Amino acid sequence: MTHIRSMIDAYPKDPGDIDVARLAECISACFECAQACTACADACLGEDIVADLATCIRTDLDCADICAATGNVLSRRTGVNPATTRALLEACRTACRTCAEECERHADMHDHCQVCAEACRRCEQACADLLTSLA
């Protein structure tokens, strides 16, 4: 069991009708994606053709920020606002899809872009799965 799931299970109130397994997976995917995107942006800055990767860097950093914010909000269970949760999950899903598409354009030349795209796709799916369980 991960610390994420342990913290969800340790919450002193009933989690309600949320699927805690999907919640834990989404939080994990968000934080992992944020790290992968941050590392990918940094790796892009280390490439010789950094100017050609400007859009990728920007997309990575936007996605990292959105994923981190989503993971943080999902981690807070007191006073949950369903509309905010849904909006964040949609935004995160969109950011991850956009970032994955951008990184996939460079994946054949840069391994870090391939790794980042995979993390983004996992997070995109985890957000979609959690959204489905909230509906």
Predicted TM-score (pTM) of the model is 0.95
| 93 exposure class (CB count in 10 Å sphere: 0-12, 13-18, 19+) | buried
Whether the per-residue pLDDT at 108 is higher than 70: the answer is yes
Whether the per-residue pLDDT at 1 is higher than 80: the answer is no
- Average model confidence (pLDDT) for the chain? 95
pLDDT value of residue 51: 95
72: tokens are: 């943080």
**CA nearest 74: which of 62, 82, 85?**
85
| Burial profile 49-87: b = 16 or more Cβ within 10 angstroms, e = fewer | eeeebeebbebbbebbebbbebbebbeebeeeeeeebee
* CATH numeric code, 19-134: 1.20.1270.360
